[in-house]
Structures are given as C-alpha cells and as structure tokens.
Structure 1
Amino acid sequence: MKKIIIITVVFLGLFFASSCENELDQNSPNDLTEDQYWKTESDAQAGVNSIYAMFYKDGLWARWIYFRLDLTSDEGYSVSPWTELADWTRFNYVNYNFWEGNVVTWRDTYKAIFRCNQVLANVPNITFQNEEDKKKIIAQAKFFRALHYYYAAILWEDIPLVLEPSKTTDNPAQVNVTEVYAQIEKDLNEAFTDLPPSWGDDQTGRPDKGAAKAFLAKLYMQQHKWPEAKTALEYLITGPGAKYSLVSNYRDNFTDTNENNNESVFEIQFGDQRKGGTGEDQNAAVSSNRGQFFAPRGIGWSDGQARFWLIDAFKQEKNKDGNLDTRLRWTLYYPDLLADFGDKTYGRNWEWNNNEAWFRKGSRDYYRDNEDYYSQVNYRLIRYADILLRYAEVLNETGNTAAAYQYVDMVRARVNMNTLATAHPEIGNDHDKFLERLKTERVLELAGESVRWEDLKRWGDLNSQAAVDKIALRDPDFNNFVVGKNHRLPIPQNDANNNPNLEQHPEY
C-alpha cells in the first residue's frame, strides 16, 4: 500500500510562542490573510493537511521528541560530545531555554495546536457540498489537538490550555494537568464520533476511529482510570473496531517495505522524496532524522544509544526451539549480534565498545550502510501489540489477572516464545508479580518505540526514591534524578518570564 505524505503550505504561520512576537508582526505581501482565507472546501482540506506537516518539524517527530521519550527513559542515554544535549538526557537541566532539549519541542507542540485551533475555529463556517466531509476534517483536527496535548502533558504536565487561534498579544493561562487530560478526553471522544472506521487507500495515514480509541486508552491508563481504559481497548480487540492483527514478521513494523499493515493502529507517514530543511518552504523535508541521530558511530551522528541491560533482558529466556528471542535481533545492535544470530547485515564501518548497544528499529541496514536526515521509514506510533499488552495490564488492574495471560501470549506467540504461564509459573494470579513481568514484556516487544517514559510514569516508578534507585541500577543517569522534580520538564524560561499567566514549575 503506497503511503501518502500530507503537507501543504498555506496561511497558517502564526503560532503560540511569546518569544517570536516581533517576527509575527511582519506582513508578507505574498501571503493570504485570515479574512481572505477559510472560504472553500479546498481551504479547509489544506488547513487540516498543514497539521500533518507538523510531524516533520524538528521539535516533534522528525527529531527531538525522541530524545525526551526514549533517551530520558531507562532504555536510552547519550554520550554525545555536545555536552548540553547529553545533559538533557541525564536530568542535568541548567539552561531551561536550551533549544534542542526543551524549547523547540514546546514551540512546535503549540504550533501544531495552533493549526488545529485554526481549523476548528474556521472550518465550521465554510459551506460544504457534503457535511460528512466537513465533520471528518473537524474530527481530524480534534484528534491531533488531543495527540499533541497528550505528549505535552506527558512531558511538562501543567501547561497553558489554548483552544482558540492564538494572537501575539495572548498570555494563555496555565492549568493543572488534570484539566489538560479532560480536554484531551473531550477532543478524542468527539473525534471518534465523526472519524470513519477506515479510510480509502488514497487517504492512508489519516486517523480513524481505532486511532481515537487507542489514544483514549493511553489517556485513561495514565490516569489509572482502568474501567474506562478497558472499554476503549475492547473496541479495538473484541468490539466494532476489531480489525487488527499481528503481522507474522516482527521486523515488518520497522521498515518501509510493509507499512500501514494490519498491526498499525496509527503511524506517521515519512518519505524521502524531498531533501529540504524543516521549515515551511515547498521543498521542506517530510522525513525522519531519528536514524541519523541514533545510528552507531561510523554511520550516523550517534547522539543517542540504548542501555546494555536491554540485551540482558532479552537473553533471560529462550524460545520454544531453545534459541534467542528473535526480537533482540531486530531491536538492537550490539557486539555479539553476529555471533548470536549470524546477522551479516551489521558491522560495516560501525564502531562501538563492548558494553554498548544501539537502537535498530527504523534503521535502513536492509538496503544501505549509512543513515542520513531523510529516512522514509514510517514511525508506528501505536501498533496492535501495544494494545494487547495494555489490555493485559488493564485486566490485571481490574482484578482479572487470569484473563490477562492470553493477551501477553498472543504477543509472545508471534516470536515463538512459550506461554507466559509455562515460562513463569511463579506468577500465578498475583497482581504485583504479573505487573512486574508485564513491565519486562513491554520492553521486549516495544523497546525504542517511545512508550517507556509514559510507562514509567504510569507505574509510579518515578514517584519514590526506592523505585528510582532500582532504575538507577540499570541506568546510572537516574542517580541524577530528583524525585518530585524530574518527572516533568521545566517550562522554557523565556515563556515563563514573558507570560504573567504562566509560572515555572515550583520545583525548578
């Protein structure tokens, strides 16, 4: 199925960022103004398409958000010679205005939200031949506003909640994260109503009802609203949205050769057809930089790498044939990869020490021996294996541990692992033992897929010194972690200084 890349340059340049007021005061004679725009169906479609274009910006899924979600967690770290960059994966936050570590993700998040708000404010006033088309456009904007607020809440928690198109004079009020969560829930439920169950092949990459329910499940789980999460997940597993399945080849989730497959619940569409930068020009890239920044030395920048304890976790248990879990082969590069799997595709011009590992998911070693800024490999933001493991977690939390086993077993069976009860009979129906094992199961299946930081927060593993000390045994960076402080990022200081309604988090 051919992917589509949705990007349109229209009059949508304003965004919430108090530090850019002077720039925003400039009027270009070549740009449409707001009173000239938002007249036709094509205006509305271009407007919603511009929201998709935010996936290709530096602060979000083109580059820097992975440093926050993957490298800050105990799965990854950085020894970049760019000391300040590496420090922002070690909880050494000194300059809260550090662009790559904080500000650019904040900026691009609110820029994306601004584009959503423009659609939501203006499209209802446009006359459509088919009102269902209008509803779908509005639903997409609500979905993406919820998506961007979700990750903002995971990273910063108490933030401004902006629901109207911003002006340069605005000083939006900061709200508690619970209010942010409530708005995300509202947007997702309203989006679910008007999103289609699926899109045609020419619209691949747009969110459908299943994607909305998946994000609702994530949202509910972060708040420990287990019954609500259970209902959302059941839509995907046993309900009207049960159209998903696990692909037979695990690696098909991480290359460009079998994208948008039956396991994909929502994935970001990347392409390599344009080699520009990440601005708003017509040649702007629509690709991912992750491979370039996370590649082993010799084939990329190597600013991010994996913790070696992940290899040990994979090697604790053999599959039914007495061999290593094949997910290890496709998840990580590490010194013994060739010896363990006879994998001759690795090792060309790559440099590492014996105790180092690197993320392999999304790499392009299946057809080239280096990375660059223009990876076309889609990023699977939510896939069905994650849904199944989440459902197991929810069942365990709602007192039905026995029923949870089968959903873990579905994920394990794909890679020829024994059933959970066979491999770990000591768990029984013990809630705590099951949860501890599930934490490992999520690592084995999802390592390097940008879910670990929210997992650690959901499990309460960042809430006590004892829990953090346990993490520090496998990730020494957590020796720097301050309980009650580093569970969230500082707000960019310039924004806190310039907006009287925005206060820096008190712990900072």
Structure 2
Amino acid sequence: MKKTLYKVIYFIMPLLILVSCKKEKLNVENPNVITEDQFWKTESDAQQGLNAAYAMFYKPGLWSRWIYFRLDLTSDEGFSKSPWVELADWTRFQYINYNFWEGNVQSWRDTYKAVFRTNQVLANVAAIEFADQTKKDKILAQAKFLRALHYYYAAIMWENVPLVLEPSKPDDLPVQSTLAQVWAQVEKDLTEAAQVLPVEWDAPNVGRPTKGSVMAYLARAYMQQRKWQEAKTALDYFFTGAGAGKYDLVANYKDNFTHTNENNKESVYEIQFSDVNKGGDGDDPNATMSTNRPQFFAPRSIGWSDGQARYWLVNEFKKEKTTEGKIDPRLQHSLFYPALEADFNDKIYGRSWQWDSDEAWFRKYARDYYRNNEDYFAQNNFRLVRFADILLMYAEVLNELGQTANAYQYVDKVRSRVKMASLAVAYPTIGMDKDKFRDRLKMERVLELSGESVRWADLKRWGDLETAEKVAKVAERDPDFNNFQVGKHIRLPLPQIEVQNNSNLTQNPQY
C-alpha cells in the first residue's frame, strides 16, 4: 500500500458547494475541475475518495507534526523550552490564546477535514455499483475505521466535540456532544469495521487497517472508559481469537522505529510515511507524505529542538539491570542523553554529546542511524499500535478484572525480549496486589513505549490527573504539572473561533 496509495492519494479533494442564484452568472462550471456531481460514480472514484481520507495523516495538525506536541510533550515524558514562547507554553498548560494555530486550531481543523473526507466516502460510495461487493464493503469499513481513529484522538484531546457524521455544509452548526457520546460513536464505527476488515491484506495493500488494528483501537476506547470486560473481549482477538499467532515481538527493539523494517510482525497499525514527495503540506499532487517529527524533536544544531524528553526517563531506565548485569537496551534506542556514548559506545548523529548535562531527547523515529541531520521529510512509518503495547494493555485489563496472576506472563514477554528478569523475580513484593501491579505496570509502559504518543491517554485513564494529590506526584517528575488545574487541563480548550461561530458549542469547563 505504501507505494500504491501514493500514486493517487491527492486526486480527490473537497469540492466547492455554491449557493443557488442565477446559474448563468454564478454557477459557471470550470472545464478544468471535476464537479461533485460528476464524481462519486465509479469504483475508481471510491478508491480515490478513500485515499484522500488517508492523506490527512500527512497534514501538520495531525501526524505530520503538531499532534506529537499534544500527546508526547504535554505528558510527563516530554516538554518544550522552545524560543517560540507560545508554542512552549502550550506544552505546560499555559493556554492564553485558545486560537493559537499550531497548538490548537490547526489540529482541530485537520481533524474535522479528516472526518469530512471519511464522511464523503460513507455518504457516496454506498450508491456506487461495484463488480465485487466485498471490495466496496472494505472501502466503507476503512472509512469507518479512519473516522473512529480521528474521533478517538479528538476525545483524548478536547473530549466534548461535535459528532459530524454527514458531509459538512458551509452553514452547518454541529451540536456539541458529550465525551460519552463520542466514545459511543467510536465504538460503533469500530465494531462495524471489525465485521468487514480482513485479518490481513495481500502484499500490495499492506498498511491498510486490519481486523487487529480495529480491535486494538476498540480496546483502547473501552480502556479509556474503564470498561475492562469489554476491553478484554476486544483484546482476546490477539490471544484466543483469529489474530492469535499472527503478531509477535521483533527480536531487535530498534526495528520498531526505523524505515528499514516496517510493517513487521510487531506492527498492529502504522502510518505509511514516505520521502518520495518533497512538496508543501497542501493538497497538491506533490505535497509531502512524510513526518516532520524528527526535525522538531532533534537536538539543537541538528533540528529545531522544539520538543525534548524529561531526564527522569533516563534514571528510570537505569534503575534495573538485565539478567546479564547490563543497562536496559531500550534506553539506547529510546533517548539521546549525556552518557549514551559511555553506556553503549554510541554517538548522537555521529557526534559526541554537546548539550547540557541534564538534557535528554527522544531518539525513537530519529534518523541518526543513517544520517547526521534531520529535515521535514522523514520516511519512518509511525507505529500507532505495536504488539508490545497490546501485551501490556492485556496485562492491565486482566489486573483490573482481578486476574493479576494471569497478567504477569504478558508483562514478562515484553521484558524478556530485552533480557529483563521476570516481574515476579524482579519485584517479588507485588504479589497478587492489584494496586502494586498497576503501579509497576505504569513504569513498564514507560520503559517500553516512551515517546510513542500513548502516555497522555495513559495518565488520563489511570486517574493520575483527577486530584491535586495525584497531580502533585506527576509534578515531581515534570514540573510543568505545577501549572495543571484539576478539572480544567484534563482537556484542551475548544478553539474560541469555533465557539464564537457556532451557537451550539460551549467552551470546555473552566476555560
């Protein structure tokens, strides 16, 4: 899919809707532009419409750039001391201008552009005749998955967002939904998509969502609502269902973050990035299909250095040695830090450490393994869900359901890849205590998944941001949380321009 999709991904974009007036004066057709009435007729139109929905992954408000600031840097894993003060403020809960483009509005806009494109597919493809009904059903199921995915992250970031389920019109004033209603729609779309999408695709279509991709996000949605039994049912797919045996951990942890071993057996769903095009971020055929994350997260003098990692992560990795008495090897591939060369005989983009002694930077998805600088066109696929995450999610769900004894094995599988002792051996005082197991699992997820855009959702799910006392503990690791106001900063403000222009929207609580 990574090559096939790029050939046609930008050929269908939202089309202009004109108000009715004197046709001969206002409704003049441009012979060089296809109209909406002319489109949505053939199987090819349907596929191009779906490709336009996939293209939204490459927009700066989403997975090309800014969403990482919301999911990684706002969490206790990362922060910003960018000279762009307003950008840095939006990672430390100092929201003054709710219309800040890079921190809020652009992500909102691109989220709803993505939803609009999926809605176009769902509204129009149903009426197109296909020679193969299965092909049509799969296109519709992919659109449902993509819509659910974007609403999942909207729920994580803003919570109380409008549910728009039909192609938008210029004068629409969508009604605000509650967080519970958003989750219900995510569940509905994913449940319907799961009934259609295959266990795996053939080689030309690798990278499209599978049934496993759907079940992973369904489990995530349930877990955020603490619907533990429903989450277990979704995750059972990977262990006792049709997905059993399909996924596994790759031998080399590093292979999860480079462009040389993508869509491997550990991948459950990943965004297909490419450096084929080096255009801008618009909708023209040469627009970029790459990620800017490495450019914005690289150390000073290598990239823009607008985002970096908290140093407590380095210390956490070093608290426990492997069964061979060595440092946890995940540290080498997760972070750049001052002692990297001494600890692993490794350098940072081919150079020795030249930054502050208390600084660390995210290494995942950096391209130092084959170049000594970064640019806007990183081709590394971003792994939205890995099987290691599935294993840890399953352990968490089992523990919450009182099946702590059964949960150990799934954590141990993740630990054993990097030669860490079994959890029972390393932490015998946990026993069958559910609270102690949960506390340890929080650190296990950090060690395995730091910098992979899951931590903000984790903190919310665990309730670590729900009381002043709990937030104070988080602030011990990340002083930015001293600015966090309980009941307010658990969610972003809605862009104020949206509230002002739509009488059906109310600004989020306490903003």
Are positions 1:268 and 2:271 aligned together? yes
Aligned with residue 404 of structure 1, among 381, 404, 407: 407
Are positions 1:246 and 2:286 aligned together? no
Write the letter of the residue equivalent to 1:203.
Answer: N
Q: Quote the offset at 1:197 in angstroms.
A: 1.2
Aligned with residue 34 of structure 1, among 14, 33, 36: 36
Write the letter of the residue equivalent to 1:417.
Answer: M
Q: Cα deviations across residues 319-357 of structure 1 (Å, max 9, x unaligned)?
A: 000000000000000000011111145452864100000
Q: Quote the offset at 1:196 in angstroms.
A: 1.2
Q: Distance in 2 between matches of 1:352 and 1:114?
A: 44
TM-score of the pair, normalised by structure 1: 0.96
CA distance 1:351–1:498, shift in 2 (3 Å): farther
CA distance 1:26–1:93, shift in 2 (3 Å): farther
Partner of 2:20: none
Q: Distance in 2 between matches of 1:237 and 1:296?
A: 40
CA contact (8 A) 2:349 2:371 kept: no
Q: Quote the offset at 1:442 in angstroms.
A: 0.1
Gaps of 5+ in 2: 18-26
Q: Quote the offset at 1:9 in angstroms.
A: 2.2
Partner of 1:163: 165
Q: Distance in 1 between matches of 2:118 and 2:484?
A: 35
TM-score of the pair, normalised by structure 2: 0.96
Q: Distance in 2 between matches of 1:490 and 1:163?
A: 22
Partner of 1:60: 62
Are positions 1:230 and 2:232 aligned together? yes
Partner of 2:124: 122
Are positions 1:176 and 2:175 aligned together? no
CA contact (8 A) 1:397 1:431 kept: yes
Q: Distance in 2 between matches of 1:147 and 1:422?
A: 38
CA distance 1:3–1:230, shift in 2 (3 Å): farther
Q: Quote the offset at 1:15 in angstroms.
A: 10
Partner of 2:420: 417
Q: Distance in 1 between matches of 2:348 and 2:488?
A: 43
Q: Quote the offset at 1:204 in angstroms.
A: 1.4
Partner SS state of residue 488, structure 1:
coil
Partner SS state of residue 422, structure 1:
helix
Are positions 1:359 and 2:356 aligned together? no
CA contact (8 A) 1:297 1:350 kept: no
Q: Quote the offset at 1:11 in angstroms.
A: 3.9
CA contact (8 A) 1:401 1:431 kept: yes
CA distance 1:65–1:26, shift in 2 (3 Å): farther
Residues 30-39 or 89-98, more deviating: 30-39
Partner of 2:13: 12
Q: Cα deviations across residues 209-237 of structure 1 (Å, max 9, x unaligned)?
A: 11000000000000000011001111012
Partner of 1:467: 470
Q: Distance in 2 between matches of 1:475 and 1:103?
A: 26
CA distance 1:477–1:28, shift in 2 (3 Å): farther
Aligned residues: 500
Q: Cα deviations across residues 264-319 of structure 1 (Å, max 9, x unaligned)?
A: 00000000011101100111000000000000111100000000000011001000
Partner SS state of residue 171, structure 2:
coil
Partner of 2:51: 49
CA contact (8 A) 2:349 2:369 kept: no
Write the letter of the residue equivalent to 1:415.
Answer: V
CA contact (8 A) 1:11 1:34 kept: no
CA distance 1:403–1:285, shift in 2 (3 Å): same
Are positions 1:390 and 2:401 aligned together? no
CA distance 1:274–1:80, shift in 2 (3 Å): same
Q: Quote the offset at 1:434 in angstroms.
A: 0.2
Q: Distance in 1 between matches of 2:251 and 2:178?
A: 43
Write the letter of the residue equivalent to 1:42.
Answer: S
RMSD of aligned alpha carbons:
1.6
Partner of 1:95: 97
Partner SS state of residue 385, structure 2:
strand
Are positions 1:329 and 2:332 aligned together? yes
CA contact (8 A) 1:75 1:447 kept: yes
Partner SS state of residue 380, structure 1:
strand
Are positions 1:500 and 2:503 aligned together? yes
Q: Distance in 1 between matches of 2:358 and 2:146?
A: 40
Partner of 1:85: 87
Q: Quote the offset at 1:33 in angstroms.
A: 1.8
Q: Cα deviations across residues 236-263 of structure 1 (Å, max 9, x unaligned)?
A: 1221112100000000000011000000
CA distance 1:61–1:271, shift in 2 (3 Å): same
Aligned with residue 106 of structure 2, among 94, 104, 123: 104
